[in-house]
Chains A and B, each alone.
Chain A
Amino acid sequence: MNKMEERLWNYIDGTCSEEEQKAIDMLIAQDEVYRRKYQELLGLSQEFAKMELDEPPMAFTYNVMEGIRAEIAQKPLKAGIDKRIIKGIAGFFILTIVLLVVYVLSTLKLGAASFDVSFSGHLSDSLKMPDLKNVFSGPVIKGFLYFDLVLGLFLFDAYLRKRKVSKQL
């Protein structure tokens, strides 16, 4: 009985082979038991297909969209910022710092006896540059390099911590 039902369900679902299909066609035509069972299962299959879907509450879509909006609003600011912007700002500062350091080092005249900062480049008379001697005074450069050192150590520490965490995982 069970084997017959299994074959008939496969036949109704269209999941049996062509050969099997022909064999069942013949059985339905010739065998009364098969034919009755086939009619019964076919009726059931048609009933199943007519089943109605449940209707969700009227405000279902609205509630889901509200949930999504709330989730977006709760997103931390850090996650909301495009990483490319952060990378761009970081790139700009790194480039500026490097250029500044290169420029300063190339124009510095370090004497053994005194720390003399003087600009050796030649500029056109029409181009009036601000007096860099005052801007790049010894304490300012020292302060700038100290800040860079602290920033570098801070980033290096963050990198090491991240590496440690990923290893633990």
Chain B
Amino acid sequence: MQSKLSDIELIEQTLAGNQAAYADLIKRHQRFVFTLAMRFSKNREDAEEIAQDCFIKAYRSLSSFQRQAKFSTWLYRIVYTTAMTFLRKRRVDTDSIDDDETYIQLENHPSGFDTNSVENKSRSYYLNQAIEQLLPDDAAIITMFYMGEQSLEEIAQALDMEANTVKVKLFRARQRLKEKLERNLKDEVKELI
């Protein structure tokens, strides 16, 4: 059972030496941190490693956490930097956001996503499949915006960017996700025929 205390209260208890309070804090945020790590690493083993590393790093620097920002925003910043370091080590290509060529292709792509055509399979299955095909930054921004309850300003803070830049990136990421969904659905129809 998870604690009803706020994040700040749990942090204060942790700083006072109560490790159980930190375990509660982990339980509260682990699903989102793990999901975000999955968006970057694309596999469960690496995501687990990144997520664990994040919580250990957060514990180490908990005393430096400024209470002006949300704990989740501060934590997501750690996830982002940890994942980036991890990917750099693994030499995974993370160039994504400013890929103008892809953007131009998207601009001219006919839009025909029909939400009714996914009735035979779980919608979340298609969405997850499409998200997995996105580049890490795109997937992370969409995840933070829709699942992490983060505003554009908070995402900007977590990713160390301007809020307007995040807005543009979010728009492009959604376009790409929509395109992936359309492509996957077309492939599915072809397979059925």
State the A residues within 8 Å of B (CB).
1-2, 5-6, 9, 15, 37, 40, 43-44, 47-57, 60-61, 63-65, 67-69, 71
Query: In the complex the two chains form, is B31's CB within 8 Å of A56's CB?
Result: yes
Q: Does A43 contact B174, Cβ atoms closer than 8 Å?
A: no
- Chain B interface mostly: helix
Q: B40 CB to closest chain A CB, in angstroms?
A: 12
The 5 residue pairs across chains A and B that have the minimum distance between CB atoms: A56-B34, A53-B31, A48-B146, A43-B115, A54-B35
Do B124 and A48 touch (CB < 8 A)?
no
Q: CA of A155 to CA of B131 in the docked complex: distance in angstroms?
A: 61
B111 within 8 A of A: yes
User: Known: A9-B171, A50-B124, A71-B56. Contact between A60 and B34, CB under 8 A?
Assistant: yes
| Docked pose: A71 CA to B52 CA in angstroms | 13
Q: Are B26 and A48 in contact (CB under 8 A)?
A: no
The reply to whether B30 and A61 contact each other, CB–CB distance below 8 Å, is: yes
Q: Can you give 12 contacting A-B residue pairs, CB < 8 Å?
A: A5-B175, A50-B124, A51-B128, A52-B128, A53-B32, A60-B26, A61-B26, A61-B30, A67-B52, A68-B22, A68-B56, A69-B19
Binding site for A on B (CB under 8 A): 19, 22-23, 26-27, 30-32, 34-35, 38, 44, 47-48, 51-52, 55-56, 59-60, 107, 111, 113, 115, 123-124, 127-128, 131, 142-143, 146-147, 152, 167, 171, 174-175, 177-178
Smallest CB–CB gap between B101 and chain A, Å? Answer: 15
Known contacts A15-B152, A44-B178, A47-B115; A64/B38 CB under 8 A: no
A15-B152, A61-B23 given; A54·B55 CB < 8 A:
no
Q: Which residue of B lies closest to A69 (CB)?
A: B19
- In angstroms, Cα B51 to Cα A159, docked, is 41
Residue of B nearest to A48 (CB): B146
Residues of B within 8 A of A68 (CB): 19, 22, 56, 59
Q: Is the CB of B52 within 8 A of A60?
A: yes
Q: Give CA–CA (A63, B48) in the complex, Å.
A: 10
Partner of B146, one of A49, A55, A56: A49
Contact with B34, one of A40, A55, A65 (Cβ below 8 angstroms): A55
Smallest CB separation, A2 vs chain B (Å): 5
**How far is B59's CA from A65's CA once the two chains are assembled, in angstroms?**
10
Contacts of A2 in B (CB 8 A): 107
Known pairs A48-B146, A50-B123; A64 contacts B55 (CB<8 A): yes
- CB of B30 within 8 A of CB of A51, answer no
